[in-house]
Structure 1
Amino acid sequence: MSTRTAYEDPSHLDGAHDLPANVNDVTVTIRHPGYDDNCNILMLLPGLDDVDGAIDYDTALAACGIAADNNWEGFFTLDQAGRHRVVRPADGLLREKDCYFHVPGIYPIVPSFRDWQFPRSLPSPWKECTVSPAPAHRIPREVTLTEAVLARDISCRLTNHIEGTENAHLIPRTEKKWFDRNAMARFAQISCAGVDAINVPRNAIALRSDIHTLFDNKRFVIAPKQSP
């Protein structure tokens, strides 16, 4: 089986800035305004997008929107009453270490991934996110998922390493019930009869083995960022 030419180096370099020595010193606390401050923490996010402690504004907003049952009309404020909004900075970084997430009206919280429903619409900047098409390459139909993913991606999609790569499920096989309940097969593009939709290349990417382990252990997520 022939392979494609490897992709070029990733264009989304991290800027080579140092990360904070103590993550606890730069944790961003986001609160639910419907409860007292002694019991209203909605989520704690590590401020690792800046050496002084900040998180990508849109990523934090989308994370809170997911927790609020896919509510994309939310905004951050400095006060519980919601009078003093946090304006999205030009560089797209949320630097407030303690703020509130508001949506119009009172909002419930989705307690777990298995209780969450896949949204009918996506938040910004996911709606504006475009993915460059892969080079034309016909992959034989009679191949395993691992062979198909490695032939398509060539290298780890995060590190660009070619050695030690393997296919990583985006929606894990342990969440098969969630996958079926949310009809995710509609995105699968199944080409062979009898193939489980959760085990198709559209639900997998090539990752280096150690990165795959971190991904499975929920140590990071993949999210688009708008350029400043």
Structure 2
Amino acid sequence: MTPLPQQPVKAGQQGDSGPVLSLKPPRQPFSATVQTGCQATFLHPGYDDGHNILLILPALDSSGIHHETARIACAILADSRWDGFLSYEKDGPRLEQGPDSILPCRRYYFRIEGDDQYPIVPSFNHFRCPPELPASWLQPAAPIKTSPVEDAGKRDIICRVTGSLLPNETAHIIPQAQSDWWQRNSMFTYAMNPDQSFDTNCADNTILLRRDLHKMWDDHRFAIVPKAGKWVVHILMISSTVELEETYHNLELQPLFAVSRYFFFCRFALAIISKSPFLRQQTARRLVILAGSGLPQCGPCLQTTISASSTPPREGAAGVRAQRSARGQCKAKSTLRIRLPRLSPRRKDTTCQSGVAL
């Protein structure tokens, strides 16, 4: 008897010989970023328009920006002035939107009551870790759990952003390159075990990140901030495609264990200060300069000198607590959407923008 000819087995089907190769289609590339993408601009009320840009941030929250994240970013530049607020006009009322509201894409003024000429921190070298954080960065608004495990790899196991098991790296919250700043600000006092935290390599200053996310974090392409009681990724830089914003913006982190919220806050400050174009606008400025430091060579500057041991004003405080030099006297609704954290995989058993170092 002549055997019947065999039918060809197609990919994804099962023939008489058992399972066959199943191929997945190629990933679709991310679409290009719209060049007219919306951005929110934040202005200083003490200077002429056109020469008063504090900060420009991409508006990726439903074509707007998270109110509290934007306000705190501006407050950082103003030497941790938590009493500052946003308004539409130089002398207009403060915005009525709540901290987790989405601000439409437009221009805003960051204002401090009674001090339109408030000074600005020119670089991270002159930024002081504030002794008190804004309420939105404290428990329970920004929860961090305890852990008996100190090593970040054994404590976190998976990437805190992607949930990936491999390839991950131990990432420093405050970078090792800022070791001198760490010492000047006595950052060991914000760690769980101060006597074991005299440099940036302490356990409280490390988390586990996938290698590509670690690189992008170090490049200030995103920040880790609290929103609506969750720790999330906030994209700070527009890319040529929408990959970062679609994949990571407002993505909730895996739970954070045994790390310092003060370190996360200072890392956010490092990114924000590095993005500010304030010193590149060829205008005399009032700056916050730590005692013993020289003025930046960024054109004529007006100086406000402060002692390294002095503390920033608390929320609601009036005026600038600093020693001034003689020259220094001179409505559409949107909803915040936070993405759930990535599921864990199954397991088998710093210079200012002007280019002048400050």
**Class of the TM-score when normalised by the shorter of the 2 chains:** 0.7 to 0.9
Amino acid at match of 1:101: F
How far off its partner does 1:119 sit? 0.5
Q: State how far apart, in whole Å, the 2-side matches of 1:178 and 1:119 are.
A: 13
Shift of 1:187: 2.3
- 1:102 matches 2:105: no
2:135 pairs with 1:114: no
1:190-209 to structure 2, matched below 5 A, reads 190=193, 196-209=198-211
Secondary structure of the structure 2 residue equivalent to 1:197: coil
Structure 1 residues 191, 120: closer, same or farther in 2, change over 3 A? closer
The partner residue of 2:77 within 67, 76, 85 is 67
* TM-fit CA distance, 1:25: 2.7
Preserved CA contact (<8 Å) 1:56 1:94: yes
Q: CA RMSD in A?
A: 2.5
One-letter amino acid matched to 1:174: A
Q: How far apart, in 1, do the equivalents of 2:156 and 2:127 lie?
A: 30
2:110, 2:31 → 1: CA distance? 26
Question: Quick check: 1:187 aligned with 2:190?
Answer: yes
Task: Report if the CA contact (8 A) 2:161-2:209 is conserved.
Answer: yes
Deviations 1:141-196 (A, max 9, x none): xxxxxxx2110001000111111111000001111111000000112344887x74
Confirm or deny: 8 A CA contact 1:19 1:48 kept in the other structure: no
- The answer as to 2:224 corresponding to 1:222 is yes
Task: Tell me which moved more, 69-78 or 85-94.
Answer: 85-94
Which of 169, 174, 199 is 2:172 aligned to? Answer: 169
Largest Rg, 1 or 2: 2
Structure 1: segments with no counterpart, 5+ residues = 1-17, 140-147
**SS at structure 2 position matched to 1:69:** coil
Aligned position for 1:32: 44
- The separation in 2 between residues aligned to 1:101 and 1:20, in whole angstroms, is 32
Q: What letter is aligned with 1:22?
A: V
% identical equivalent positions: 35
Q: TM-score, normalised by structure 2?
A: 0.51
In the TM superposition, 1:120-139 aligns within 5 A as 120-128=131-139, 129-134=141-146, 137-138=148-149
Q: Please, which moves more after superposition, 90-99 or 216-225?
A: 90-99
In the alignment, what sits opposite 1:5?
none
Q: Which secondary structure state, in structure 2, belongs to the residue aligned with residue 125 of structure 1?
A: helix
Give 2:87's aligned amino acid.
T
- What is the Cα deviation at residue 98 of structure 1? 0.7
Amino acid across the alignment from 1:179 = W
Structure-2 separation of matches of 1:175 and 1:125: 25
Distance in 1, matches of 2:84 and 2:195, equals: 42
User: Which of 153, 156, 170 is the aligned partner of 1:153?
Assistant: 156
- Which structure's relative contact order is higher, taking Cα pairs within 8 Å and 6+ residues apart? 2
| Matching residue within 85, 92, 96 for 2:94 | 85
Change (3 A) 1:19 1:62: farther
Matched residues, number: 198
Q: Does structure 2 conserve the Cα–Cα contact (< 8 Å) formed by 1:92 and 1:226? A: no
**Distance of aligned partners of 1:204 and 1:23 in 2 relative to their CA distance in 1, 3 Å threshold:** farther
**How far apart, in 2, do the equivalents of 1:19 and 1:87 lie?**
36
